[in-house]
Structure 1
Amino acid sequence: MRSFFIVLFLTFSFSANAQVQEKDSIPRKQIHIGRITKSPKIDGKLDDDAWKDAVIASGFVERQPNNGKPIPDSLSTSVKIVYDDLGIYFGAEMLDPFPSEIRKELTERDGIGNDDFFFVLLNGYNDRQQSMQFIVTAAGVQYDAKMTNGFEDASWNAIWYSGVDFNERGWTAEMFIPYSELRFPEKPVQEWGLQMEREFKRTGTRYSWSPVNNAKGSFSIYDGEIHGIENIKTPTRLSVQPYISTYLNNYDGETTTSVNGGMDLKYGINDAFTLDMILIPDFGQTRFDESVLNLSAFEVQYDEQRPFFTEGTELFSKGDLFYSRRVGGAPFGTVELSEEEELLDFPSSVDLINALKVSGRTDGGLGIGFFNALTEKTYVTVKNKETGNTRRELIEPFTNYNILVLDQRYGDASSVSLVNTNTTREGHFRDANATGIYLDHTNKNNTYNYFAGAEGSWVMEDDTKAGLEAQAGISKISGKNRMDLNAQLRTRDYDINDLGYSSATNYVRYQGLYQRRLLQPKGFLNNMFLNFVGVHERRLQPDLHSRLILNFNSSFTTKSFFNFGGGFETTPIGTNDIYEPRVEGLHFNIPAYYDQWLWFNTDFRKRLVVEAVADWYKYDERGRGDLILDFSPRYRFSDKFRLQLETNVVLSDKEEGFVDFLEDDILFGQRDRNTIVNSLGANYIFNNKMGLNLAFRHYYSEVFYSKFYTLENNGELKYYGSSNNEYNTTYNSWNLDLRFSWWFAPGSQMTLLYRNATDSYREEAHLNLRNNFKNLFDQPQVNSLSLRISYYLDYSRVKNWFKSPTPPAAELDRLSYLDSKMRVGKN
């Protein structure tokens, strides 16, 4: 089967390369820029000599909400662009008839609040698929991301420079983007994709330099072109980021301290490919996981919080075969215990030794990604309760994880990809491999999209277990009326859980979507989306109807930027749940439900913003239903201080589900479950480099069983007995992070973090408020104070430290310029 995938990939690649030569289907707006000999000072003022003879980009057009409308003269926007051997420079002048009302809320880096902003998209390969995005807000805050076919990866961080200034005409912004942060082919004459936009927050309008047609295709296919960049000498792309961290931890009356050090390395192998490596990792300051009481048949999938695994991973996300939390996650092994033995500890994670990734794209559009990570041996301690003797048991050996990705782009928004993941464990532990091939094709007119893919999984333990997943679909992606038809299947033994995440298996699913949308404001509405969805799912082996879902959902935005919507969903003939029994071949009958919901959020431009959701499920079973309420107000006290609250309530009455295994039966229970989550977020931003952030979350969930049943072979329940409180549960989780961050130089950060966390699990329900919190705070608490300092070192700068006293004048100017930027710490 793997040979079949490789042959298919090579066939698709040959076809793709042939189609790269097709004539562009969308006209390109162009600008030709000139070289400068003396760089401007990046302070937001456009008064340097470098700007005097610069070409000017103008003619911005509204992208939203009134698509295609020329920008008014009162908001006229012009951008000067020049380049030198260091990088490319942008100087934007944005008129505003009321300069004192320009929106400029301070946020942390990579945050955009209630701000006007200016942004640049640069595509060094000019393939209309992936661009580097650089945004500076009117408050001087930087935001950067990789944009692929209209989707942002904001975890990517670059080292670049910006400044803003205000005058009686409006505001201005300057950007300097070094070539080291861009990717482009090595050739004497460059032709890059370029898009620039301005956000005018007071009216919620967005203006683009190169006109965008919202009626079809993704945003990225409307890039213009930038010409004139010739004979540039790109610098050596080598940087290191050493760090030092120290922790003061107190848990259960015991205080410990530790000091750690390590380094991240980034090296440009050539103009196209980059090596990222993490040496001696430290993830102690990552954000806490939002833990829950999980009663489902599947594990909880948590978001990745570690920067190395979130930055620049767009290639590795192809096909969804990579769930990075597996690397350094919970051990896979188990321990066999005798009746007189018990586990003294069981680690929630294994130690990561190191990790690296190599990624890039050739001039022909072939993207190549390679990821590798190695984790440490992990042991548990087993104690004999009778003798008191202990022993160590290996539950996770040295483990190597790797991924190889080949992704050939062609046309405006098409690609074919091959992905292989592998997990190899030392000794006689479980190994695994998964391979996938994918085609994503958009027609020349950008009106239809076709996709297909297939993955094979192989798990090698005692025997080899092989599984298959396949999917295919077609979408109409243009006009007011849009449609999508797709199908997906997974065989029973499909398993990518060693390095990916797969939950439900053994099914085939058919799905159809019809969408009606507004392309231009109409009446009191700025936009509207009406979606009609149908899903039919069956078990594969043996064949069994699983569920039929009919769904309608809607979204509206008024011209005053009030957003609201709602919907209705039903499973009219009920569900045969093949996963809740936890035993292969059985199923559980769930009656039909009728779900209706409403939501709204007020104008995000205002100081006070309120978001609310009300969702009600009613089942074809007396007394059974779910009520979900979510309420989230936020208030902006000033351009520096913002506070946000959120309360989520889920009340489930007479829910039925798996409880336990009996000797010859499966025990189910009827239960009431109440879950309340309260969150608090606060930000005080001192300036565009320094901020204080508070994140608090309290999660509470109680489960009370009233009746028990056994599961019959036909999926029905047979009465077993009333509740004896044995399985009642109350779970609390408490997390508080108070973080001070200071970006004291480009790419360099100091973070001081205080963390308080605890949780409690009790086999009882219906505790009163006082006793619940008493039980929670009687548990051992984590109190941690940590300081982490990282410093970005670029090869060009370090080389200057050891340079001879009399370097060539041109080189001295170049290195002095970079060094001055680093010392000043300009944004």
Structure 2
Amino acid sequence: MQFKYIFTWLIIILAFAKAESQIAQDTLEIKRKVYNATRVTTVPSVDGEPFEKFWDAIPTGGDFVMTQPTNGQKERDTHKTEFKIAYDDKALYVAAFLYDSDPESIPRQFSQRDEIDAQADVFGFFLNTYNNQINQTKFYATSANALGDAIAEGGREDFSYNVVFKSETSINKLGWFVEMRIPYRTLRFPEIEKQNWSFQIFRRIRALNEEYTYNLIDITKGIETQYDALMTGVEKINPPLRLNLYPYTTIVNDRFDGVNTTEYSAGMDLKYGINDAFTLDATLIPDFGQVAFDQVVLNLGPFEQTFGENRAFFNEGTDLFNKGGIFFSRRIGQTPSGFGNLELLENEDIIDNPNSAQLLNAVKITGRTKDRLGVGFLNAITEKTEATIENLLNNERRTEITEAFTNYNMFILDQQFSKNSSIALSTASTIRNGSFTDAVVNALVLDHNDKNASNNYRAELKMSNRFTPTGTETGVASEARWRKTTGRWRPSLAHFYRDKNWNPNDLGRNFQNNTQTFAADLKYNQFTPVGIFNRYDVDFRIRHRRQIDPDLHTNSEFNINPFFSTRERLAFGGDFNFFTRNLNQFEARKTGQVVRYEPAYFTGGFISTDYRKKFATDVRMGRLKRFNDLEESYNFTLSPRYRFSDEFLLIYRLSWDKNDNRMSYVNTDVDDNPIVSRRHTHSVENRISGTYNFNNKQALSLSFRNFWSRATFSRDFKELDSNGSTIPTDYTLTDDFDPDANFNVWNLDLSYRWRFAPGSEATLLYRNSIFNFDNQGDIAFQDSLDELFTQPSRHNLSLRVTYFLDFNDAKRWFKA
């Protein structure tokens, strides 16, 4: 019955969206400025000084309006903004004149690529080559001559997108100035006589805490990408051959526990424009040896610990693959599923047990047709992984497969309609060689905005199928949401459903099943300055959660979250939450068994000071207390930062967390009954990050993290009755099992990065890491640190050089 209800609800929303699109094929009424780009036969020098004769004949665009803090206000006479756009058969050329009556006050903090939130002014040129009011390709420059690029869909930015373009800036007594050259190889556009493009120009004035755009953006309704201006005059250009090669070579020296190894490797990434709409990306002989450390913590909960994606290939240009939320790229090359489940015979020991599956290669194809159909395909293959086991008596060895040869696939079709809506169908599949589990997960996703941009409707219907050696497991999940997207008062309603068999985890990520949630939000926004405040908002939230089979109210939650930002860039806010009694269906690690937690309240807040000043700090704290129960917890975070100069910034972060008397899972007894007891945990994390920027192409960076956590379980063990309450038990610990924990990890990265040519980079990285885990649950922080330094330390030094090759340039070399 639940499935029929979900399917009916989805069909209703789809029908409504279709009817809406038939009524009006346009979005909200927007006054869109028009700028005519000029075809040229000569090219500018692109040196950041757009004062040469080349620009004299190019029309000027201007009359910018404020986005924030006072939305719609005209630009200041002292800070006018002008721009010019030209093009030829190979590229777009953009010049920006960002006047400032006090150029000495323009902040100029150095930063590296994509770090546009540094303390510097920012110029942005945003281009939509399909004029669909949804997608943008964004190109940024800062007053310190750093560049950035991103792709956006509906206002969501993805800075993992990187292309090769040129940007230079300069400053004189009139203000600061930008020149950009954007080659057509960085863009996707249809091969037609006259291009139908739209664009936006953005300016951030850091000293005034103001932002401006060329075309007015009404922040009280719709989304930013709907407010682009129109660009005319671009015609008779052809998409170039887009073939870029990124060959790389790496040398790594690793020393651990007395063993020293040196390895050399080489490979190549490839980007090929199949046609004007679609691009093929491939990584051949991939090497991810210099990706960032995962932020590992002591995990005592019922769910796996997952980490963000640090590999550029799986980050860049993958916005399409996120439709439906069934793709989690860290599954590719993850820890083998049999890593911790090896069965040893008597007198056997594990000699080798790889903690990750080797990625052999990966390819992806992405693009969007002129009819606004987006297509994405990703394929990745990982090698069979084996553990080596040795008999200690006769030295005989055997191998055991911990992960099969595996093929991962992701395919998506995303059709945009009504200029600000889309419907997508995505499929994720995992195919393993041999008698292992295969899986297919499908998702249908609707995201619709009405013609006035007043309401957003979103619906998802998903199905997972896992093909195990014993049969097929089929699960269903769904989401249905409505939210008001205009005005100060913005309510929203949502329903989330996961049946008990829902499991997308072969290539996706999901933490809960057999649950449904009803959600209601009401948010008040003050968009314009009032008194001392630049803006503020207050968010009221209600969550009602139920177990599906059998139907059971698990808990409800009521939240009030105010946020305030002053004219002087001081931000602060609060968290005030009340939780009803909670019948937690996951803590016991047994299907059908709940653990009861009494009602609780949480109070917390944060303060963030003005980053424009040399010294700034962020502070956050909170406290949770249960009614009629011993459990309570505290957390505190302090993160001061100091900008010694425009070249050097140092940030320190201290996080402290303490939780006492939480009823927690310990073990399972001989009768398969979950055993629980009161658990006390204490965690301390220290982080230091700093960057010295020699210029915007060379930087020395430090990243340090020490995380310590201990856990102690009361020996007053309990069983659970059917309603989740605890009852006495005679369970006792055995000599070979102790649930207490002392967890300590130390990671240090010191890197030098040099962007020696456009798209080309050399990185010299030194790493030092130490790890310790034992059962000293009562150990003090200093003693745990002393124990940590008795463990073997890993020293890793690597050099990686990547070079960018454009096939069009290579052709000219050979002709010469």
The two structures have a TM-score, normalised by structure 1, of 0.94
Name the residue aligned to 1:662: 669
The reply to whether residue 534 of structure 1 matches residue 542 of structure 2 is yes
How far did residue 397 of structure 1 move? 1.7
The reply to whether residue 648 of structure 1 matches residue 652 of structure 2 is no
| Letter of the 1:237 counterpart | R
Name the residue aligned to 1:818: none
Name the residue aligned to 2:814: 802
Q: CA separation of 1:218/1:723 partners in 2, compared to 1, >3 Å: closer, same or farther?
A: farther
Name the residue aligned to 1:196: 201
How far did residue 384 of structure 1 move? 3.5
The reply to whether residue 775 of structure 1 matches residue 779 of structure 2 is no
The reply to whether residue 675 of structure 1 matches residue 679 of structure 2 is no
User: 2:21·2:418 contact (CA, 8 Å) conserved in 1?
Assistant: no
Partner of 1:118, secondary structure, is strand
Among 579, 594, 599, the residue aligned to 1:571: 579
Alpha-carbon distance in structure 2 between the residues aligned to 1:99 and 1:448: 43
The reply to whether residue 163 of structure 1 matches residue 168 of structure 2 is yes
How far did residue 722 of structure 1 move? 9.9
Name the residue aligned to 1:422: 429
User: 2:431·2:439 contact (CA, 8 Å) conserved in 1?
Assistant: yes
How far did residue 342 of structure 1 move? 4.2
User: 1:13·1:416 contact (CA, 8 Å) conserved in 2?
Assistant: no
User: 2:762·2:800 contact (CA, 8 Å) conserved in 1?
Assistant: yes
User: 1:412·1:444 contact (CA, 8 Å) conserved in 2?
Assistant: no
Name the residue aligned to 1:80: 84
User: 2:220·2:487 contact (CA, 8 Å) conserved in 1?
Assistant: yes
Alpha-carbon distance in structure 2 between the residues aligned to 1:524 and 1:100: 27
Among 622, 636, 644, the residue aligned to 1:615: 622
How far did residue 508 of structure 1 move? 1.1
The reply to whether residue 717 of structure 1 matches residue 729 of structure 2 is no
Partner of 2:296, secondary structure, is coil
| Range moving further from structure 2, 14-23 or 289-298 | 14-23
Name the residue aligned to 1:70: 74
How far did residue 509 of structure 1 move? 0.6
How far did residue 561 of structure 1 move? 1.1
Alpha-carbon distance in structure 2 between the residues aligned to 1:12 and 1:383: 64
Q: CA offsets, 1:439-474, max 9 Å, x none?
A: 111001001001111000000112100000011011
Alpha-carbon distance in structure 2 between the residues aligned to 1:264 and 1:608: 41
Partner of 1:521, secondary structure, is coil
How far did residue 100 of structure 1 move? 1.2
Partner of 1:144, secondary structure, is strand
Counterparts of residues 205-216 of structure 1 (less than 5 Å): 205-216=210-221
Q: CA separation of 1:622/1:502 partners in 2, compared to 1, >3 Å: closer, same or farther?
A: closer
Q: CA offsets, 1:705-730, max 9 Å, x none?
A: 22322222221112347997932110
Alpha-carbon distance in structure 2 between the residues aligned to 1:791 and 1:19: 52
User: 2:749·2:766 contact (CA, 8 Å) conserved in 1?
Assistant: yes
The reply to whether residue 117 of structure 1 matches residue 125 of structure 2 is no
Among 747, 761, 768, the residue aligned to 1:735: 747
Counterparts of residues 277-676 of structure 1 (less than 5 Å): 277-333=282-338, 334-338=341-345, 340-385=347-392, 387-461=394-468, 462-572=470-580, 574-664=581-671, 665-676=673-684
Q: CA offsets, 1:220-254, max 9 Å, x none?
A: 11111111001012321001000000001001110
Among 48, 62, 70, the residue aligned to 1:44: 48
How far did residue 622 of structure 1 move? 4.0
How far did residue 388 of structure 1 move? 4.2
| Range moving further from structure 2, 509-518 or 44-53 | 44-53
Partner of 1:344, secondary structure, is strand
Q: What stretches of structure 2 of length at least 5 have no aligned partner?
A: none
Name the residue aligned to 2:106: 102
The reply to whether residue 789 of structure 1 matches residue 801 of structure 2 is yes
Name the residue aligned to 1:267: 272
How far did residue 638 of structure 1 move? 0.4
Partner of 2:717, secondary structure, is strand
User: 2:17·2:448 contact (CA, 8 Å) conserved in 1?
Assistant: no
Partner of 2:809, secondary structure, is helix
Partner of 2:789, secondary structure, is helix
Partner of 1:527, secondary structure, is strand
User: 1:40·1:49 contact (CA, 8 Å) conserved in 2?
Assistant: no
How far did residue 46 of structure 1 move? 1.1
Q: What's the RMSD between the two structures over aligned residues?
A: 2.0
How far did residue 381 of structure 1 move? 1.5
Alpha-carbon distance in structure 1 between the residues aligned to 2:766 and 2:24: 53
User: 2:525·2:537 contact (CA, 8 Å) conserved in 1?
Assistant: yes
How far did residue 623 of structure 1 move? 3.3
How far did residue 779 of structure 1 move? 1.5
Q: CA separation of 1:96/1:52 partners in 2, compared to 1, >3 Å: closer, same or farther?
A: same
Partner of 2:57, secondary structure, is coil
User: 1:422·1:432 contact (CA, 8 Å) conserved in 2?
Assistant: yes
Q: What stretches of structure 1 of length at least 5 have no aligned partner?
A: 806-827
User: 1:644·1:681 contact (CA, 8 Å) conserved in 2?
Assistant: yes
Aligned residues: 801
How far did residue 13 of structure 1 move? 10
| Range moving further from structure 2, 20-29 or 145-154 | 20-29
Q: CA separation of 1:298/1:624 partners in 2, compared to 1, >3 Å: closer, same or farther?
A: same
Name the residue aligned to 1:815: none
Q: CA separation of 1:342/1:20 partners in 2, compared to 1, >3 Å: closer, same or farther?
A: farther
User: 1:596·1:617 contact (CA, 8 Å) conserved in 2?
Assistant: yes
How far did residue 15 of structure 1 move? 7.1
How far did residue 559 of structure 1 move? 1.1
The two structures have a TM-score, normalised by structure 2, of 0.96
Q: CA separation of 1:100/1:721 partners in 2, compared to 1, >3 Å: closer, same or farther?
A: farther
User: 2:27·2:450 contact (CA, 8 Å) conserved in 1?
Assistant: no
User: 2:708·2:781 contact (CA, 8 Å) conserved in 1?
Assistant: no
| Letter of the 2:764 counterpart | L
Partner of 1:308, secondary structure, is helix
Identity %: 36
| Letter of the 1:477 counterpart | T
User: 1:596·1:616 contact (CA, 8 Å) conserved in 2?
Assistant: yes
| Letter of the 1:46 counterpart | P
| Range moving further from structure 2, 272-281 or 26-35 | 26-35
User: 2:27·2:419 contact (CA, 8 Å) conserved in 1?
Assistant: no
Q: Runs ≥4 in structure 1, deviation > 6 angstroms? A: 7-17, 721-725
Q: CA offsets, 1:406-455, max 9 Å, x none?
A: 00111232100000010000111110000000111100100100111100
